[in-house]
Chain A
Amino acid sequence: MIASFDVIQSGLALGLVVVAFACLFDRHLLRASALFVLFALLMSVSWWYLSAPWLALTELVLGMVLTGGSFFYALRAFPSAAMAAPHVDGSQHVLSHRLTRGLLALAWCAMIGVAIHYVMPEMAYSFAGHPLILASIVIAATAMGAFALHRHLLRRLLAFNILGSGVFILLAGMAGTVSGAQALISVGLTIAWLGTLLGVMLIRHLVILEGVSALEDENDAAGQAQ
C-alpha cells in the first residue's frame, strides 16, 4: 500500500516538475498557458492525494478554470493579424543574466532545502520519501528564478502562479493539511487569482494601447536608462 502510494506520489511529483518546467521555459505563450492548465489539474490531483478535497476543488475552480482562463483571455487581446509572431516571446538574454538567475535559483533551492531538512529530520534518511516536497522545492526555486529571468509580462505572470503553487504544496507538505495551512492556501489561491486577473486586465489594456512590444519590460527599462 505504502509502496503504491509512493509510486503515485512520485509520479505526480515528477509530472508536476516536468509540466512546470515546460510551462516556465516554453516561449510559445499559448502552449505555455495550456501547460499551466495541465499543471493546475495535476495540482488539484495532488491535493486530492494529500487528502484535502476542499482544496482540490478550490484549485480546480480558482487555479485551473479561472486563472487558466484569464491567460487565454489575455491572449485573445493580442492582435490576430500575425497569428504566429505575437504569441512567442522573442526576447533574448545575455549569458551572465541567465547564469546569475540560475545560480540564485540554486541558492534558493539549497536554502529552502536546508530549512526543510531541519523541519523534517526523517527526510535525511529517505530522501525520496517525500517526493512532493522535493518537487515543490524545485518548482518554487525554479519559478522564482524564471520570474527573475523573464521580461515578458505574461510569462512573469505564469511564473508567479507556478511559484505560488510550489509554495502551497510546500506549505501543505510540511504543515500537513491542518486548518491553518488550509486557510493560508485558500487565501493564497484567491489572492493569486485576483492578482492574475488584475495583471491580465492590465496586459490587455497595455496591448490595446501600445501593442505587443510593450509587454517586454526591457524596452521601458532601456528607455529609462537613456
Chain B
Amino acid sequence: MIERFGLHESTFDPLWYTHWALAATLVLPILAGLLGARCAPRRLFPVALACLPILLAGALLVFDYQQAGLLRWQWQVAGVEISLRFNGLSGLMLMITQWVGAAAALYTPGHLRITHPGKRARWLWPLMGVLISSLSLIWLAADLLTLYAALELMGLAAVGMLLLSGKPAALKAGIRYLLLALVGSLAYLLGVALLLGYWGALGLQALAEVVEPGPVTWVAAALIGAGLALKAALFPLHGWLTPVHENAWTPVSALHAALVIKASLFILLMLWSILLPGTLLAPRFVAWLGMLAIVWGGLIAWRADSLKTLVASSTVGQLGYLMVAFPLLLGPSITPLAEALAWEGFWLHLMGHSLAKAAMFMAAGNLIIATGESSLRGLSGTSRRLPLSLLIFGIAAVTLMGLPPSAGFTAKWLLLQALVISQQWVAVAALLAGTLLTAAYVFRVFRYSFDETAPRHQYQPLAPGMDIIALCLALAAFALGLLAHLPLALIQGGGV
C-alpha cells in the first residue's frame, strides 16, 4: 500500500532537465497567474499560450517517470528536510490538475467578458495560479510539513477565489468555508504534533518505517482524519460545500469541485494507509458514512431547486463512492485482487468525477448565463435554444450515472467487483441505489429543459469556446472509460 504512494527509495536520480520540469510545474502557474493579473487577458489565445509550458512540464515529468521510475528530491532548508517524490499516481493527479486547470483558465476569459465582474476579476488569475501550484505540490510532497503548507496555501487560495463573486451569500458561505478549513487544518496539525512528538519524524517515508499501532497513532489518525474529512467535505461534514459552489463563479466552482476537495481526500488516504494499515472498524465506519453520503447527496440533488445546488450536491454523493472503497484499501484480510480492483476503481472514479464535474459545472454555468436564471424552472425551453450546453450536461451526467462506456462506469464496475469479491453487499446496494438517484436528478434537469410551455426568454449568447471547452472535458471523462488502461497502467506500474 505504502509502495503504491511511492514512499520508497528510487533507483535513479532525476536527470538535469527533470529538475527544471519540476520547477516549471511548481512555479510557472504562479508566474502565469501574476502575469494574468497584470494583463487581464480577454481572449483565449494568450491563456492557451501560458498554459502550454505548464502542461509540457507535467508531461515531461510523467515521461521521465516512465523512463526512470520513481523520482525523488530532498533538500535541507534551515535544518528542516523537505522531500518530494513523483510516482505514477502523482503523475496522474498532476496531469488531471493541470488539464482541468487549463480548461478552467481557458473558460475564464469568455466568462468574464460576459459577466462583467469589474476590477476584482484580476485577482482570479494569481489565485488560480497559486491553487494549481499548491495542488501540484500536494501530489508531490512527501513530508508532513510540505503537505501542511501546501494544503493551507491551497485552502486560502480557494477561499479567495470563491469570494471573488462578492455577493453577500458568497461572502457568508466563503467565511464559513474559511473558518472550517482553517480549523480542519488545525486538527490535522494537532495530529501531526502528536506524531512528531512521539516518533520524531516528519518525512512520510521515515514515518512509515517507524510507526507502530498504539494510542498515539490512533488519536493522531483520528484527528487528521476528522480535520481532512472536514476539508474534503465528506459526509456528514459536507454542509459548507453546497452554498460555496452555488455562489462562486463557474470556473471557480469547477476547479473547486474537481480538484480542491480531492486533495484533502488524497492526503487522508495516504496518511491513513501509513498510520492505520490493516484496521477494520474506522475505515468501515467511513464506508458506512459513504453509503449514507451516496443516498443523502442523491436525495438532496434530487430535490434541489437551483441548478448549481444540484450539481454541487451531486458531488457529496459522488464522494461517497470513494469513501465506500476505504475498507477495501485499508482493511485487514482483503484479497490482493479485491484490493487492486478497489485501488484502480478509486482513482479512476476520482479522475472521472473531476473531469465530469468540471464539465458539468461549466455546462450549468453556461445554461445559467444564457438563460439568466439559476433555478431549474428557468431551464424550460432550453432544449431548443441551447442544445449543445444540454448535450454537454448530458455527457457529463453519463459519467456521473456510471453508464457505459464512461469512466464512471468503468470505475464503478471495478469498485463493484471488488465489493462483490469481499462480499460487502450493503455497499453494492448503496452503489446501485446511487446510480438510480443520479439518474433521477439528472433526468429532472432534462424534464425541465424539454418543457416547451414556458414563455420565451431573451437568451444571452455565449462567448466562443465556452461550450467547446466544457464539451472537451465531458468527452474526456467519457473517453477515459474506454482508455482506462492507460492511466491504470501508470498507477500500477513502477510504483511497486
Contacts and interface: CB of A to CB of B under 8 A. Distances in A.
B30 interface: no
Given A174-B197, A179-B79, A180-B80, A140 B216 contact: no
Contacts of A224: 243
Interface of B: 78-81, 144-145, 148-149, 152, 156, 159-160, 163, 166, 168-169, 171-172, 174-176, 178-179, 182-183, 185-186, 189-190, 192-194, 196-198, 200, 202, 214-216, 218-220, 222, 243
Contact of A183 (B145, B169, B197, B215): B145
Main DSSP-derived SS at the A contact region: helix
Nearest to B191: A115
Given A157-B179, A174-B197, A175-B197, A209 B171 contact: yes
A192 B182 contact: yes
A206 B182 contact: no
A128 interface: no
Contact of B198 (A119, A181, A188): A119
B172 A181 contact: no
Nearest to B171: A206
B172 A111 contact: no
Nearest to B172: A220
B215 A198 contact: no
**Residue among A115, A156, A178, A192 with most chain B CB within 10 A:** A115
Contacts, number: 130
Interface of A: 111-112, 114-120, 140, 144, 147, 153, 156-157, 160, 163-164, 167, 170-171, 174-175, 178-181, 183-184, 187-188, 191-192, 194-195, 198-199, 202-203, 205-206, 209-210, 214, 217, 220, 224
Contact of A209 (B168, B179, B196): B168
Contacts of A198: 156, 159-160, 178
Nearest to A195: B182
Given A118-B198, A187-B149, A209-B171, A195 B178 contact: yes
Contacts of A116: 194, 197
Contacts of A167: 186, 189-190, 193
Given A180-B145, A191-B152, A206-B168, A171 B186 contact: no
Contacts of A178: 79, 200
Contacts of B78: 179, 183
B61 to A, nearest CB: 25
Contacts of A192: 182
Contact of A188 (B144, B159, B189): B189
A149 to B, nearest CB: 13
Given A115-B219, A192-B182, A202-B174, A184 B145 contact: yes
A203 B175 CA distance: 8
A174 B215 contact: no
B183 A160 contact: yes
A147 B194 contact: no
A196 to B, nearest CB: 9
Nearest to A201: B163
B186 A160 contact: yes
B186 to A, nearest CB: 5
A118 B175 contact: no
A130 to B, nearest CB: 12
B194 A119 contact: yes
A183 B182 CA distance: 18
Contacts of A217: 172, 176
